[in-house]
A and B are shown apart, each in its own frame.
Chain A
Amino acid sequence: METTFLILEDGMTFTGKGFGKRAPLYTELDTQPLFGEVVFNTSMCGYQQILTDPSYHGQMVVMTSPHIGNYGCEPLFSESTHCPIAVPSSALIIRSLYEGPLPLERVSLDAFMQETGVCGISGIDTRALTLHLRETGSCNALLFRNGHTSLTMSEKTQALKTLSFLPAISERNLIEGVSVRAPLVDPPSSVPTPTSPIIRFALVDFGIKSSIIAELYKRNAAVTLLPSSSTSAEVLSHNCDALFLSNGPGDPMMLPEAVASTKTVMEILPTVGICLGHQILTLALGGRTTKMKFGHHGANHPVRDLFSGRTFVTSQNHGYMSEASSLPSCVLRWFINANDQTIEGLWHKEKPIASVQFHPEASPGPHDGSWIFDRFISIAQGEKS
């Protein structure tokens, strides 16, 4: 009998059944602890896109939707095509795993996670966990198994001790693991590479989701993918028309070099960004970012366009945000979250610089913000407010 446990920093413990790659044994805690910041995602569909989203690197994802794995997995659904790690998130935490039959071309979620080496735990009260995270905020947790049905006091004490030594998400540099190692011109995509592109982006990869590249290709925009460590000179050396800062995991404050490089490049090239890219841009513009209590992770977040007055439903995945009071006067709020009024997008008054906190590429989530890519391209082509 093997049992898998999820234990949070504050001692809250969940007992469940492991799936995917087997979680490390209790005895392996010291040598290879499986840990990450636990965040909940309220999307009701698209578990594979979430699991493979490089922005989740360093995090364990709780799906609030109870049934996961319903339609299996296939390569086309992965968001980590350009990522050195197939499944960047640390673990998947779910209520109920589907283990029934699937169409021939699909593999089960269990098999997919075994193949890609990701651990999962199922059969736990994900709602209790979600409510707890909502009240106390996201925190680190440890996933492991032992050979019996419960956790002894001493095992729990030891696990908590291990947890106390592990770094918080804000202390971790998670980018290196998920960024391309060397520049890549016209990275492959599910969408054909533009043959006669109207523009070329220098796309700094902090852990890019494949769909972003696909959305750009669909609009006839070419991409040169650059490592996250690229200096401004390196970025400029590729003779691109505009800078694109990708999404990615972790705290933007951990990336001073990227901020510095952006500061330089955005004076020269039109600059746009998504998610972490938006946060880096915030810092480069002189603003501040802060950690949110439990962030926004889901596919149902209302975002208000302050220019048009329209509100639309977006896909979101972020634990940090731009601080409204810190923004310099040259920057306007483009979007805000209609629920909590947090900043969801910036627009530079004078320069072709803009960004969004949410995910216009969706995947998973509603396509209602996909027009943002058209605006980005038009900004890259020199549009100003």
Chain B
Amino acid sequence: MSARTDIKRILVVGSGPIVIGQACEFDYSGTQAVKALKEEGYEVTLANPNPATVMTTPGIADHIYMDPLRPEYIEQIFQREQPDAILSTMGGQTALNLTLELERLGLLRQYGVEVIGASIESIGLAEDRGSFKKIVEGLGLESAKSTIIHTLEEGLALEASMGLPLIIRPSYTLGGMAGAIAFTHEELPLFLEHALETSPTHEALIEESLIGWKEFEMEVMRDKLDNAIIVCSIENIDPMGVHTGDSITIAPIQTLDEGQYQKMRDASIAILRAVGVECGGSNVQFAIDPKSGKMVVIEMNPRVSRSSALASKATGFPIARCSAKLAVGYTLDEIINEITGESVSCFEPALDYCAVKVPRFELEKFPLPSSALGTQMRSVGEALALGRTALEALNKALRSSEQKLEGLTDLTEEYRYGISEVEVLLRSAHPLRILAAYTQLCRQGESVASEISDITGFDPWFVHLLVEQSRLDKRLQQGLDRDILLEAKMAGMSDKRIATLLKTEESCIERLRYAYELHPVTHYVDTCAGEFQAITPYLYTTYGETDEAPLLGEEAVVILASGPNRIGQGLEFDTCCTLASLAYRKLGKKTIMVNSNPETVSTDFNISDRLYIEALGSEEAKEILLRERTNNIVVQLGGQTPLNIASKLKTSGAKLVGTSLEGLEKAGDRGQFSSLVSALGLRQPKNRTAYSQKELVSLAEEVGYPVLIRPSYVLGGRGMFIVYDRKAIEDLIEKKAICSSKEAPILLDQFLEDAFEYDLDAVCDGQSTYIGGILQHIEAAGIHSGDSAAVFPPYKSNPTILTQMKEWAHKLALALEVQGLMNIQFAVKDDLLYLIEVNPRASRTVPFISKASGVNLVEVAVRVWENEDLVHQRLVGKKGGIGEGKCLLGWAVKEAVFSFDRFSNVDPALGPEMRSTGESIGLGKSFGEAFAKSQISAGNNLPTSGKVVVSVNKKDRKTILPVVKKLKALGFQIAATKGTARSLFDEGILCEVVQKVHEGQPNLTDYLKEKSIALVINTPMGYLAHASDDEIRSVAMRLKVPYTTTTSAAIAAVDAIEFLQKKRVMVRELPQ
């Protein structure tokens, strides 16, 4: 055993809030690392200001700090916890950059903290594109022709020497951020400028275009004795030109011959050696010219990454866990492979299945630019599916991505795309390109296969998969017998897909399948292609083969998780599922986790008694229940995904754990809910439901403007609008932005302008209610709750109203017969309480409230399900009573974090549709401290001096006054746009006047570009914001100038600024 004994305390750095390119995969790897280090007896301190994570759950690490990942805060952690080492490789680019910063400031040396995982030198070598290129060439390998630039002029000069297109990659950024492909002379300067602005070192690499080349990734591990292994090889089905995070990928590599593969393997290991990665995992990316076979090294990441999480789930090999062990001195051959329990980790997993990943996009929220996908990652999540063949895995993965794709499908048939649209999709790096290729094959026949390969850059091997599917489709259409049905199931086709193809009902195919006794079988993910017996329970299903796993029986409970990350349904829900599994197991109950998201902790191999990597469809869930011979299924923890199939599961005889289907439906059905509200004597904003397009206008008038309009049953506020007058709603109808029908009605609600919103999370056992906490939103009503900063406990709220909220919650919980979690949204306007929404399920805020209050609400709910009532749990004094959680550290602020900077065409103003990708937390003894920390962690750089520009709409001009006065008192200079300046002058405040964009030059954006502005307070008018407001916010966002879009946020910001001016840095350890 060679674990180091000279270090005792280790600091693990997390990756902070979730943004595109850095998501919950780092919760997965960080959690694994913390557990692996604790197992070895180290005292582990964790720093991560992301409240949604599993890793920050009390009990996971010895000490948890949710303070900003900034040197001044880390220095305090150094002082308090005196770590001997810092593990920098588990927190993505954020942790690497922080480590480099700590080194630069001399803090590591000052406090005697050693960097473990990847050394400062190797991080520098791998991350600095110039040095990395030298290393590659030194090894006799090739890299793409490229030049490093520091100025716009240097970049522009390259057009002449290298030609277009050119790839622009800023140094030290995340997920290819601000990277671009310049196809035209006009684009080049824009992209160059953006890249140089974004790079922290104002440096970018300009590279020859390898668009259309085949792209590969190798996940490599190396230890201090120079033992090295390839954990997983990954081939991108989408060729070069699409960021690997946005590509459909397959593991293992399928189209390289032995010689090519071994050459790539040798190169990967040689690169790790040369860079000096000697105790951990890295990812190396390659491109191969399909014509000449020439191999080029693209880049490497000397840390765990999204790819390593994917590789871990694709192979069963826990890369993060092993990396952590290597970091403290173990060698690969000393680490037992936990999957088999008998082999060692110094081997290369052998796969006897294919693992396909399909990225998930939010095309409605973040439309793609005209050039479609590029070098900058834009997907928000991903789904993984395993199948015995590539076709099976591909069909399953497309279905798992929950983008209404049932697998390979003809776009013109199923989705009513026009033929010309398909042509366009085929020629652009679009997420639907593979389906466009399939459509062309179906429509034009197999003879176009090679042409399709040429156009798309998909290797002929992959196009042949599509050919196989089209042949299978044709045979299915010729008649269905057992053999062909089995073949279809073996190819990963869902009952629904077969039904659509044969123009029949899903239930008919299901009945036929049952009659033929065709059910899925399980295979173990065993890392060794069957050579050793697997002892951990990681499974996938397939058809027509041997069934390997014994059934768990009635004692087990199935937990449906939340599938691929998307806006509004992400890490928070996965954390709930993970915590539920852990809680159940603590109580001695067996758990079966079902999920398709490879980035998560819930899909780690030792979280549950059994893990299925499967799509979260009703077919899959029903088959798993059937196979495991259990009826117990939890649907209230994974967000909307499991709830969508709850009724189908109920119909087929499943027993939903906790709140009944009736309770869920009553809360979700407007009519039923409204009657309940009046029966209980509660208050709700006026509301109507439109079942046809015609009714919309008249119902809106009945409710009275402003009206909030939204489709029923959606999560994250998709398709929501606030309309202020008749014309606005007529416009929306004309633009077909809202479509109302009997099947998909539209909901109309009185919009409570200037109201304050609250979120309440509770657990009910059927008799008593425990209020975990009440969060007050800092942004005004109308901004989606997921996008709003919020504070726990409520700030300056009327205590009578808060009491009323608790009473209402209790009444509702009893009326809906809630068993388990419940979330309620309230609004308060003119001291009147309104009920906005009740959801008898886990909410996004459950992990936040749990951490801030020190009560794990998910565990409370699980105990309730296992018949331990709230009184027994000592959370409620007496039966039928109400209990309440408290914020342990004084104040806890949650701030939403956005990835707007990846979408230059998106207006960052907030509205009723949720667009944040993650959240940060700030804990403090004062509101100012908590809010300030939440802002720092969210990446909002609140100033302590300088010039503030105020531009607010008419109705905000009164409320903004105290803010401006305070800012002046705090020493800020004030500038304002004309209208605002005039009203300030009327109140005795004289300030500089700046022009709006359309008023001429120089205007506000010019000042922003000059960087002479420290803060922008800009409230837009309603939802139909003016174009110049848009530009102000976009420019501010791009230049990282903080801006607030509501007066309440401005008030909070001023509190925080006041705190920051005192320059008091104080970390707060989360009580365990």
The answer to whether A131 and B546 have CB atoms under 8 Å apart is yes
Tell me the residues in window 242-265 of chain B with beta carbons closer than 8 Å to chain A beta carbons.
252-259, 261-262, 265
- Contact assessment for A298 and B545 in the assembled complex, using a CB-CB cutoff below 8 Å: no
A194 to B885 CA separation, bound complex (whole angstroms): 82
With known contacts A95-B388, A98-B461, A40–B265 Cβ distance under 8 A: no
**Residues in chain B within 8 A of chain A (CB atoms):** 225-229, 252-259, 261-262, 265-266, 269, 331-333, 342-344, 346-354, 388-390, 449-450, 460-461, 463-464, 467, 523, 528-533, 544-546, 548
Q: A66-B353, A300-B347, A339-B342 are in contact. Are A312 and B227 (CB under 8 A)?
A: yes
B561 to chain A minimum Cβ distance, whole angstroms, is 26
- Of B226, B348, B450, most buried by chain A (CB within 10 Å of CB) is B348
**What separation, in Å, do the CA atoms of A44 and B235 have in the docked complex?**
14
Contact of A300 among B256, B269, B348, B533 (CB under 8 A): B348
Any chain B CB within 8 A of the CB of A130? yes
Contacts of B225 in A (CB 8 A): 309-311
Q: 30 pairs across A/B with beta carbons < 8 Å?
A: A40-B531, A42-B531, A45-B253, A45-B258, A66-B354, A67-B389, A67-B390, A70-B254, A71-B257, A77-B257, A77-B259, A95-B389, A96-B389, A101-B450, A127-B388, A128-B546, A130-B531, A302-B347, A309-B225, A310-B226, A311-B344, A312-B346, A313-B229, A313-B348, A338-B347, A340-B342, A362-B262, A365-B262, A367-B262, A367-B266
Say whether A101 contacts B449, CB under 8 Å: yes
The SS class assigned to the B binding surface is loop
State in angstroms the CA–CA spacing of A14 and B262 once bound together.
33
CB neighbours of B354 from chain A (8 A): 66-67
Which B residues are in CB contact (< 8 Å) with A46?
Answer: 257-258
B739 nearest CB across to chain A (Å): 43
Contact of B529 among A64, A302, A366 (CB under 8 A): A64
A89 within 8 A of B: no
Interface footprint category on A: 35 or more
Tell me the complex Cα distance, A312–B342, Å. 17
Given contacts A40-B530, A49-B258, contact A300 B461 (CB under 8 A): no
A residues near B530, Cβ cutoff 8 Å: 40, 42, 64, 127, 130-131, 134
Picked from A101, A125, A311, A367, the residue with its CB within 8 Å of the CB of B227 is A311
Chain B CB within 8 A of A162 CB: no
**Interface of chain A residues 324 through 339 with chain B (CB within 8 A):** 338-339
Q: Is the CB of B332 within 8 A of A311?
A: yes
Are B254 and A339 in contact (CB-based, < 8 A)? no
| Cβ–Cβ contact A125 & B352, under 8 A | no
CB distance from B394 to the nearest CB of A (A): 12
> Is A300 a contact of B258 with CB atoms below 8 Å?
no
Is A90 in contact with chain B by the CB < 8 A criterion?
Answer: no
Whether the pair B343, A339 counts as a contact (CB closer than 8 A) is yes
Q: Is A351 an interface residue, CB under 8 A from the partner? A: no
Q: Which residues of A contact B548 (CB under 8 A)?
A: 131
Option from B262, B461, B546 in Cβ contact (under 8 Å) with A366 = B262
Q: Collect the chain B residues with CB atoms within 8 Å of residue A66's CB.
A: 352-354, 388-389
Q: In the docked arrangement, what's the CA distance between A43 and B351, Å?
A: 9
- Chain A, Cβ-Cβ closest to B531: A42
Which residues of A are found within 8 Å of B350, using beta-carbon distances?
Answer: 42-44, 64-65, 298-300
Chain A positions within 8 Å of B523 at CB level? 127
Q: Cα distance A309–B350 when bound, in Å? A: 24
Cross-chain contact A299 with B545 (CB below 8 angstroms): no
A311 CB contact (under 8 Å) in B331, B352, B388: B331
Contact check, B461 vs A130: say whether CB atoms are below 8 A apart. no
Contact of A313 among B256, B346, B450, B544 (CB under 8 A): B346
Question: In this complex, what residue of B is CB-closest to A310?
Answer: B225
Query: Quick one: which of A71, A96, A130 contacts B256, CB cutoff 8 A?
Result: A71
CB contacts (< 8 Å) of A302 on chain B: these are: 333, 343-344, 346-347
Set of chain A residues within 8 Å of B343, measured between Cβ atoms: 302, 339
- Which one of B254, B346, B463, B464 contacts A338 once the chains associate, using CB atoms below 8 Å? B346
Closest to A339 in B: B343
- List of A residues within 8 angstroms of B353 by Cβ: 66
At the interface, yes or no: A209 with Cβ under 8 Å from chain B?
no
Interfacial chain A residues near B265, Cβ < 8 Å = 366-367
Name the CB-closest residue of A to B260. A71
What chain B residues lie within 8 Å of A366 (beta carbons)?
262, 265, 348
CB–CB B333/A304 < 8 A: yes
Interface residue SS majority, chain A: loop
B531 in contact with A298 (CB, 8 Å)? yes
Which of chain A's residues has its CB closest to B254's CB? A70
Most chain A beta-carbon contacts within 10 A, residue among B225, B344, B460, B530: B530
- Shortest distance in angstroms between A279's beta carbon and chain B's nearest beta carbon? 21
A59 at the interface (CB under 8 A from B): no
Known: A42-B529, A311-B331. A126 touches B352 (CB 8 A): yes
Is A45 a contact of B256 with CB atoms below 8 Å? yes
Question: B397: shortest Cβ distance to chain A, in Å?
Answer: 16
In whole Å, how far is A268's beta carbon from the nearest beta carbon of chain B?
37
How far is it, in angstroms, between the C-alpha of A77 and the C-alpha of B529 when the chains are bound? 24
What is the chain A residue whose CB lies nearest that of B293? Answer: A103
Q: A65's closest neighbor in chain B, by CB?
A: B352
Task: Compute how far the CA of A309 lies from the CA of B331 in the bound complex, rounded to whole angstroms.
Answer: 10
Taking the complex as formed, is A318 at the interface, i.e. its CB lies under 8 A from any CB of chain B? no
Residue in B closest to A311 when the chains form the complex, CB atoms? B333
> CA–CA, A130 to B531, complex, Å?
7
A126 to B389, CA, bound (A): 12
Q: For residue B529, which residues in chain A have a CB less than 8 angstroms away from its CB? A: 40, 42, 64-65, 127, 130, 298
Give the residue among A71, A96, A301 with the most B Cβ atoms within 10 A. Answer: A71
Collect the chain A residues with CB atoms within 8 Å of residue B460's CB.
Answer: 100-102
Q: How far is the CA of A234 from the CA of B816 in the complex (A)?
A: 94
Please, which residues of chain A bring their CB within 8 A of the CB of B227? 310-312
Question: Complex Cα distance A215/B469, Å?
Answer: 43
Asked if A319 lies at the interface with its beta carbon under 8 angstroms from chain B, I say no
Give Cα distance in the complex from A99 to B333, angstroms.
Answer: 40
Q: In the assembly, what is the distance between CA of A95 and CA of B546, in Å?
A: 13
Q: How far is the CA of A309 from the CA of B226 in the complex (A)?
A: 10
**Contact call A44/B351, Cβ cutoff below 8 A:** yes
Rounded to whole angstroms, the CA-CA distance of A43 and B348 in the bound complex is: 10
Closest to A47 in B: B258
In the complex formed, the residue of A with least CB distance to B343 is: A339
B545's partner among A77, A102, A128, A362 (CB-CB below 8 A) is A128
Let me know if B255 and A70 touch, CB within 8 A. Answer: yes
In the bound complex, what is the Cα–Cα distance between A104 and B347 (angstroms)? 36
Query: 4 extra interchain contacts, Cβ-Cβ under 8 A, other than A64-B529, A312-B227, A367-B266?
Result: A42-B531, A98-B461, A100-B461, A310-B227
Contact of B349 among A127, A300, A312 (CB under 8 A): A300
Q: Tell me the bound Cα distance from A44 to B351 in angstroms.
A: 7
Specify the chain A residue showing the minimal Cβ separation from B450: A101
Contacts of B532 in A (CB 8 A): 134, 339
1/0 per residue, CB under 8 A from B, across A37-71: the answer is 00010111110110000000000000011110011
By Cβ-Cβ distance, the 3 closest A-B pairs, closest first, are A100-B464, A128-B546, A46-B258
CB distance from B132 to the nearest CB of A (A): 23
Query: Within 8 Å of chain B (Cβ to Cβ): is A140?
Result: no
A363 in the interface (beta carbon within 8 A): yes
Residue of A100, A298, A311, A367 with most chain B CB atoms under a 10 A cut-off: A311
A249 at the interface (CB under 8 A from B): no
Output the least CB separation between A68 and chain B (Å): 11
List B contacts of A125 (CB < 8 A).
Answer: 544-546
CA distance A293 to B339 in the complex (A): 21
Q: How far is the CA of A102 from the CA of B459 in the complex (A)?
A: 10
Q: Does A364 contact B (CB under 8 A)?
A: yes
List of B residues within 8 angstroms of A311 by Cβ: 225, 227, 331-333, 344, 346
Chain A residue at minimum C-beta to C-beta distance from B453: A101
Docked Cα-Cα span, A65 to B252, in Å, equals 10
A67 to B262, CA, bound (A): 18
A45 and B261 contact, Cβ closer than 8 Å, known pairs A302-B346, A309-B225, A338-B333: yes
Q: Which residues of B contact A367 (CB under 8 A)?
A: 262, 265-266
Give chain A nearest CB distance to B340 CB in angstroms.
9
Contact between A363 and B258, CB atoms less than 8 A apart:
yes
Q: Which residues of B contact A127 (CB under 8 A)?
A: 352, 388, 523, 529-530, 545-546
